[in-house]
Amino acid sequence: MENNKVLIVDDQNGIRVLLMEVFSSEGYETYQASNGKLALEIVRAHRPDLVLLDMKIPGMDGLEILRHIKTIDVDIKVIMMTAYGELDIINEARDLGALMHFTKPFDIDELRFAVNHQLRGDLNSRTPIGT
């Protein structure tokens, strides 16, 4: 069985390192990007199964990155992460195809459960966890 690929997109290095460790230990092939340009290069080159995407990234915001990801491959699953609770942005992300969002600081076990659920569990489930 091929390992699922997870891409972590966040401008905060500490969050990327933590999530890389968590999802590597879960057996996923992990990638990280600190900005939108790099994230989209990784999406084109490696076609991750799931992207953990921060909403607020300097240069290209999360919604713009999400739009680009979905034009590259509509089947890539995206979970948004945000330190902000702007409902209009969260709703727009959902309309663009994001499965759910987590507000920082998030519970790492809830996030791990959500990713495992999306990649290994009921793939049709769109139950919003952590909202």
Domains of the chain: 5-120 (3.40.50.2300)
* Residue 129 predicted with pLDDT over 50: no
State pTM to two decimals: 0.90
Per-residue confidence (pLDDT) for residue 48, from 0 to 100: 98
Query: How does pLDDT run across 54-98, given as a tens digit for each residue?
Result: 999 988 999 999 999 999 999 999 999 988 777 888 999 999 999
Show Cβ contacts of residue 32 under 8 Å, excluding neighbours closer than 6 positions: 7, 8, 9, 10, 16, 19, 20
Instruction: Compute the distance between CA of residue 131 and CA of residue 67 in angstroms, rounded to an integer.
Output: 21
pLDDT-derived band at 122, boundaries 50, 70, 90: low
